[in-house]
Structures are given as C-alpha cells and as structure tokens.
C-alpha cells in the first residue's frame, strides 16, 4: 500500500484560483494514474491532495515483485511532482509504503466506493505522515523484503501512532520503472466570462 501527499499544498491552495487548482490536480493525478497503470498498481482513491494505491500480488505471484512495482510508482510520483510546479512554486511529495494483508470491498448505498482497510493501510498512511518531503519512507517489513534489490537509509525509531516506536527506512534507489510520460505543467490562465 502506498500513500503519497503533496507537501505544502494546503497553504498554496488557499492562494490559488479554484479552476487552476482543479486543473492542476487533474493533470497531476492523471500522470500518477498512468504511472500506476504502467506498473500494474491500482489507484484506490484520492483524498484532497493525498493519493492512495495498492499493488496486488496475484495467486502464486511474488510479493517482492509487487513491492518493487509499488516503489517504482512512488519514484515516478516524485519525478512527476518535481516537473509540475503549481503557479511556478515547486512542490514536494512525501510517500509511505507498507506491505501486508488488507480487506477490500465496495461500500455505500448511493455512491459506491471501492476501498481497502486494515493494519497494513494504517501503517502505510503512518509511513507517509511521519516521513520527510521528497522521500519514500518504508517499514521494516518492506526493508526486509527488498534490502537485497533496493537501497535504503535507516531512519532510526519513529514514533508511530497506535504502534509506538518503529524502525523505518528511506528508499534511496532510483527504481527501474519504465519511462512514464511526465508532462510539464503549462502556464494556466482562466478568464472570467
């Protein structure tokens, strides 16, 4: 499970025209959707300026390969945000990844929504929220699975809400993601009619 959040977006959004903001997020999340599709990772939802996606391991598949695909998406997201400033202001992405089982389903009576729940989702969210800008923070489980194929820097113990102190790592590898089309943000203007 990968959570990614735009650092500094909320304060910048307060100073941005609504049309410009919606157009920016549409383009940005569209590029992130393409990165997910290229890696066979499923977008679950966006929550404001936060993006959540999941890599499913097929029956008989390799959890290591799935985790690498999710890290490839995180790396692509960092590249996408670096090439798409909002009104000439560069933003940064803070990402978090954890692996494990989830419960998934469709909920609602009037507006159906597919979602995932569980401790894995909560830990991935905590990795993002306790992480640092321009980095992907991962749990010990991700590190243990990928330490022979990815580069990581040990962060030390991070106090994780509901879990206490946990050892975390920052992924340092430029991943081997295939070229994902990354478009630079054009100048936006909106004239009132």
Q: Would you call 126 a catalytic residue per the annotation?
A: yes
Q: Give the Cα-Cα-Cα angle 139, 143, 144 (nearest 5 degrees).
A: 115
Please tell me which residue in 126, 147, 154, 163 is annotated as part of the active site: 126
- How far is the CA of 137 from the CAs of 22, 24, 86, 89, 187, in angstroms? 28, 25, 24, 24, 32
164-171, strands of its sheet edge to edge: 42-47, 50-54, 2-7, 92-97, 135-139, 164-171, 152-160
**What is the pTM (predicted TM-score) of this model?**
0.87
Residues 6+ apart with CB under 8 A from 16: 24, 86, 87
The structure tokens listed for 165 are: 């102190």
CB atoms within 10 A of CB 53: 25
Let me know if 136 is exposed, middle or buried by CB neighbors in 10 A (0-12, 13-18, 19+): buried
Per residue of the chain (193 residues), what is the pLDDT tens digit? 999 999 989 889 999 999 999 999 999 999 999 999 999 999 999 998 999 999 999 999 999 999 999 999 999 999 999 999 998 899 999 999 999 999 999 988 888 889 999 999 999 999 999 999 999 999 999 999 999 999 999 998 999 988 999 999 999 966 434 444 444 443 333 333 3
pLDDT at position 108:
83
Q: Would you call 153 a catalytic residue per the annotation?
A: no
Report the C-alpha gap between 88 and 169 in whole angstroms: 31
pLDDT at position 190:
34
Please tell me which residue in 45, 90, 161, 163 is annotated as part of the active site: 161
pLDDT at position 174:
62
């Amino acid at each position: 499970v990968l959570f990614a959040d735009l650092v500094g977006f909320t304060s910048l959004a307060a100073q941005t025209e609504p049309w410009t903001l919606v157009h920016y997020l549409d383009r940005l999340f569209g590029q992130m959707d393409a990165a997910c599709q290229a890696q066979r990772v499923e977008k679950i939802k966006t929550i404001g300026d936060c993006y959540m996606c999941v890599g499913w391991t097929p029956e008989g598949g390799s959890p290591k390969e799935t985790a690498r695909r999710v890290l490839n998406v995180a790396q692509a997201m960092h590249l996408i945000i670096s090439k798409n400033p909002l009104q000439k202001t560069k933003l940064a992405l803070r990402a978090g990844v954890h692996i494990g089982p989830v419960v998934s389903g469709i909920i609602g009576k009037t507006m159906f929504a597919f979602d995932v729940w569980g401790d894995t989702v909560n830990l991935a969210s905590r990795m993002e929220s306790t992480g640092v800008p321009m980095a992907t923070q991962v749990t010990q489980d991700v590190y243990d699975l990928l330490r022979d194929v990815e580069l990581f820097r040990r962060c030390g113990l991070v106090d994780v809400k509901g879990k206490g102190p946990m050892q975390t790592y920052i992924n340092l590898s430029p991943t081997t993601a295939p070229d994902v089309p990354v478009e630079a943000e054009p100048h936006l203007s909106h004239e009132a009619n």
